[in-house]
Amino acid sequence: MEIRDYEYILIPNILEKYKCSMSGECCQSKWRIDIDEQSYLETKKNLEKQKEDIDTYMGKHESGAYVSKFANGYCKLITEDKKCRVHQEFGWECLSDTCKIYPRNLKLTSRGMEIGMGFSCRSSAKLLLSKEKFYIKKIKKEDYFFMKPRSVSFIIPENNLKTEISSRYYELEQMAIDILNLDENLYVKLQYLEKLISELYGANIEEYDFKESVEKFKEFIPSVPNNENLEDEIVRIILEKQKRSKAVGIYYINLLRLIGLNRNLEMDKKILASDSFTLTKSELDELKKVWKEDYNTILQNYFLCLTFNKEMYYNPEYFMMKATMLTIFLKFRIMLNTKYLGRELTEAELIYTIKSHDEDLAHDGEFFSEFYKAKCDEKVNISELTKTLLTLIA
C-alpha cells in the first residue's frame, strides 16, 4: 500500500531509543536481501552513469531483485569501510525499502504508523535488556525520524466483520500487553494468555470484555507444568528447521553434542563421531540449572515485541504458537551457550546470542507457517502443543 498521510508514530517505549551503530553487520546477513523494482532501476541508472553494470551487484528472481554477495557474505555494494555505497553515492532515496527500514517492522494502521522491530541486529537486540515497563508510546510524526519506505503493509481492524477477532485487534493486543506487564511469574502469565486466546475462538467477540479478562488473572489457577515430551518436541523442531537450513540445524546439534561430552576421550570420540544426537529430560533439567531468573525480563520483552509486530491480527492461535517457539528457543540458546562456556554470559555475548537466535529463526517466516500447517494437517491440537512448549519457561 502506498503511504498515505498519518499523524502519529506508535512504538514500544523500549524500542524508541534504537540507534544504528553503523557496523555493517546487516549487510552481511545470512538471508537474501531483496530489492524493490524502483530501487533496482534507480541504482541501475546511477551505475550506468559510472560505466558499471548492475549485474555485477544484483541478481533477478521471479518477484524482483536481490543483492549479490561476496564470499564472506557482504553485499557487493558495501565499501571497504563498511558503508553503503548506494546511500553514500546515490542518496537514501535510492535505497531499497528493505535497507531503509531494517531492523524495523512497519505497519500502517488506523492509529498511525506502527514501528516494531526485529532483533537480528546487535543494536536492537540490546534493547531487550531494558528493565523499563513495556508500553506503546504515541509520538507526533514530526518528532520521530526514520527513513520512510515507498510502500508499507497495512491493517485496519475496523474494516473487519464485527464477529471476527481481528475487528477488535487493538483491545486484544492491549490485553496481551497488560497481562504480560503484571508483576507475576512469566510462565503463569503466558499460560493464562494462551488460555484466553484459545477461548476467543468460541466467544462472542462483539460482547467480549478484554479488560475484565485481565482482571480475572487473579482468579486464574495455573496448571502444574507437564513437560512430558518437551525434549522430543524441541528435537523435532530442530530437525524440521534443519530441512530448511542445514547450518542452523547443525549449530544446535553440535552444541548439544559438545555439552554432552564427558571429558573422557573414548566416550567423547563416540559422541563426536556419531551422526545422531539426543536431548533427554535429565539433560534438559541440567540445562535449566544455568538459567538466570533475571533473563526472564529479556524473554518477556521479546514476547511483548513479537506481540506488537501484528502477527496476532491474522491468526491468534498461530501467533501464540510461533511466539512461544521463538521465545523458548531464545531461552534454549542462552542456556546452551552458557553451558558450553561453563560460565555466565557477558553482556556482549548475551546480545550476540539474541541476535544470532533471531537471525536464524525469526527471519524464516515460511518455516513457522509450514510447521503450523503440517501440525494442523496431522490433526495436532495446537493449543496443547503450545502449552507443552511453554513449560520450558516454567
Mean pLDDT of the region 162-183: 97
Q: Which long-range contacts (CB under 8 A, 24 or more apart) does 251-256 make?
A: 251/360, 252/336, 253/277, 255/336, 255/337, 255/340, 256/283, 256/336
Provide the pLDDT for residue 111. 94
pLDDT confidence tier of residue 336, bands split at 50, 70 and 90: very high
Residue at grid coordinates 524502483: 38
Q: What is the pLDDT of residues 108-130, one digit of tens each?
A: 999 999 999 999 999 999 999 99
Provide the pLDDT for residue 57. 86
Q: Report the percent of the chain where pLDDT is more than 70.
A: 96
Q: What is the pLDDT of residues 52-91, one digit of tens each?
A: 998 888 988 877 788 888 877 788 888 888 888 888 888 8
Cβ atoms within 10 Å of 17's Cβ, excluding its own:
11
Provide the pLDDT for residue 129. 98
pLDDT surpassing 80 at residue 394: yes
* More confident of the two residues 97 and 139: 139
pLDDT surpassing 70 at residue 147: yes
Q: What is the pLDDT of residues 228-273, one digit of tens each?
A: 889 999 999 999 999 999 889 989 988 888 887 766 667 767 666 6
Provide the pLDDT for residue 263. 63
Residue by residue, DSSP assigns 307-352 as HHTTGGGT-HHHHHHHHHHHHHHHHHHHHHHHHHHTSPPPHHHHHH
Confidence (pTM): 0.91
Q: Are 249 and 241 in contact (CB under 8 A)?
A: yes
Mean pLDDT of the region 17-34: 80
Provide the pLDDT for residue 275. 66
Provide the pLDDT for residue 169. 97
**Domain definitions of the chain by residue range:** 8-21+103-155, 25-99, 160-394
Q: What is the pLDDT of residues 200-214, one digit of tens each?
A: 999 999 999 999 999
pLDDT surpassing 70 at residue 3: no
* CA separation, residue 233 to residues 151, 239, 307, 365, 366 (Å): 39, 10, 23, 19, 19
Provide the pLDDT for residue 262. 67
Distance of CA 5 to the CA centre of its chain: 28
Average pLDDT, the chain: 91
Who's near 322: CB < 8 A, 6+ residues apart? 306, 311, 368, 372
* More confident of the two residues 93 and 333: 333
What is the Cα–Cα distance from 52 to 118, expressed in whole angstroms?
A: 34
pLDDT surpassing 60 at residue 2: no
Q: Are 269 and 382 in contact (CB under 8 A)?
A: no
Q: Report the percent of the chain where pLDDT is more than 90.
A: 64
Q: How far apart are the first and last CA of the chain?
A: 42
Provide the pLDDT for residue 74. 83
Q: Which of 25-39, 155-169, 265-279 has the lowest mean pLDDT?
A: 265-279
Q: Are 105 and 115 in contact (CB under 8 A)?
A: yes
Provide the pLDDT for residue 32. 79
pLDDT surpassing 70 at residue 281: yes
Mean pLDDT of the region 184-199: 97
